[in-house]
Amino acid sequence: MQTRAAVAWKAGQPLTIETLDLEGPRDGEVLVEVKATGICHTDDFTLSGADPEGLFPAVLGHEGAGVVLESKVPWLKPGDHVIPLYTPECRECKFCLSRKTNLCQSIRATQGKGLMPNGTSRFSLNGEPIFHYMGTSTFSNHIVVPGIALAKIRPDAPFDKVCYIGCGVTTGVGAVLFTAKVEAGANVVVFGLGGIGLNVIQGAKMVGANKIIGVDINPAREEMARRFGMTDFVNPKNVGNVVDHIVQLTDGGADYSFECVGNVQLMRQALECTHKGWGRSIIIGVAPAGAEISTRPFQLVTGRHWEGSAFGGARGRTDVPKIVDWYMDGKLNIDELITHKLKLEQINDGFELMRRGESIRSVVEF
């Protein structure tokens, strides 16, 4: 079949809209009509050329929702509503069976090379293959995806909202609930109040955190973050030493901190502003290729913990349908975070809005 898609031809260049050839699903695969997709910072990271795994030409996008058109797995059928998962859940590999991680590895090798599990791409143009991206490629109206990389969701959930659960919402809320398991009454600091950080804030509010301190250099982020539960705002440009300031605000340091920018200097501050003896700092942001983190080892000797979280620690097929339920039950606010709705032809405007800090999430509807 043929499908419309935004193609990234080269690092640093705008996407172009093309009609691509799409080969049908093989065993274990599913054809999905994507109805809506968010644009995440990580798409821009790859498009910029800073992503060491970035491949071109490719169909980017990893935050989608849609409908199954054809299925070659027994647990999905045409008409099912689904969210594609860049972190699949096979329930059979060593990683899935460990119950210690959500990083299923069953298709990792080919997914990282922009290919389907048999080692080829389903997308092509004039006979030349176009790479998949993160196993999802949601900037295409139709995609072929391994069945283990689809979460089946309830049919009444609106695609243009729950697509955001495909990355940003789950990454932020999940880091609080699944990775850190923040307890009621804890003091929490969030570095970066964008599409991920605001979801960390709403996760912290959801579990009954005490102080929820937001740190951002963009003062326009304060109002939105307060609506989502932030109790204190810190603009690093207005305080002398961010670490000392937070330690003072929290009577000795935060119980938990989350880095949601991808800046290694902030990662250090996020660790060092946590409480001696038990503070835990969770890295969510993806730093540029080759970047390294550092701190004095004594920070760890004295009981602070440095950790990371991918896709919020969520097991996609199990947890994503629950997160959709939380949204439908009014426990999560997604609507206010979707600041812009675009057509596929306007997708480059969505990238520009994000780069200028004017959007939280832009959603493209097909």
User: Which residues contact ligand NAD (rule: CB under 6 A)?
Assistant: 40-42, 45, 167, 171, 191-197, 215-218, 221, 236, 260-263, 266, 284-286, 309-311, 354, 357
Residues 252 to 291: which contact ligand DAO by CB under 6 A?
286
Alpha helices in the chain (DSSP H): 41-48, 94-98, 108-111, 159-162, 168-174, 197-206, 221-227, 242-249, 264-272, 298-301, 316-328, 347-355
Q: Are 233 and 220 in contact (CB under 8 A)?
A: no
Interface positions, 139-168, toward Zn ion (CB under 5 A): 167
Please report where in the chains the tokens 């989350």 appear, as a residue: 258
Rounded distance, CA 61 to CA 214, Å?
A: 28
| 106 binding Zn ion? (CB under 5 A) | yes
Using rule CB under 6 A, residue 62 touches ligand DAO: yes
Minimum distance of ligand NAD from residue 199's CB (angstroms): 8
What are the beta bridge partners of residue 213?
189, 232
Q: How far is the C-alpha of 353 from the C-alpha of 341, rounded, in Å?
A: 11
Q: Which residue has the tokens 């960390």?
A: 200
96 binds Zn ion (CB under 5 A): yes
Residue 167, interface with ligand DAO (CB under 6 A)? yes
Compute CA distances 102 → 85, 112, 156, whole Å.
12, 17, 27
- Supply angle C-alpha 185, 191, 194, rounded to 5: 110
175 phi, psi to nearest 5 deg: -60, -35
Q: Which is nearer to ligand DAO, 40 or 188 (CB)?
A: 40
104 binds Zn ion (CB under 5 A): yes
114: partner contacted, choices ligand NAD, ligand DAO, Zn ion, none (Cβ within 5-8 A by kind): none
- And the tokens for 311? 């896709």
Q: Which amino acid is at 310?
A: A
| Closest separation in Å from C-beta 336 to ligand NAD | 14
Dihedral angle over CA of 13, 14, 18, 23, nearest 10:
60
Per-residue x/- track, 23-42, ligand DAO (CB under 6 A): -----------------x-x
* Cis preceding linkage at 57, omega within 30: yes
Residues in binding contact with ligand DAO, number by CB under 6 A: 11
Residues serving a catalytic function are 40-42, 62-63, 90, 93, 96, 104, 108, 167, 361
Contact window for ligand DAO (CB under 6 A) among 8-16, 100-108, 241-249, 337-345:
100-108
CB of 109 to ligand NAD, least distance (A): 19
CB of 129 to ligand NAD, least distance (A): 26
User: Of 102-110, 219-227, 251-259, 344-352, which part binds ligand DAO (CB under 6 A)?
Assistant: 102-110
Question: Site for ligand DAO (CB under 6 A): which residue of 17, 93, 103, 264?
Answer: 103
Can you give the binding site for Zn ion, defined by CB under 5 A? 40, 42, 90, 93, 96, 104, 106, 167
Can you give the binding site for ligand DAO, defined by CB under 6 A? 40, 42, 62, 87, 103, 105, 108, 167, 286, 310-311
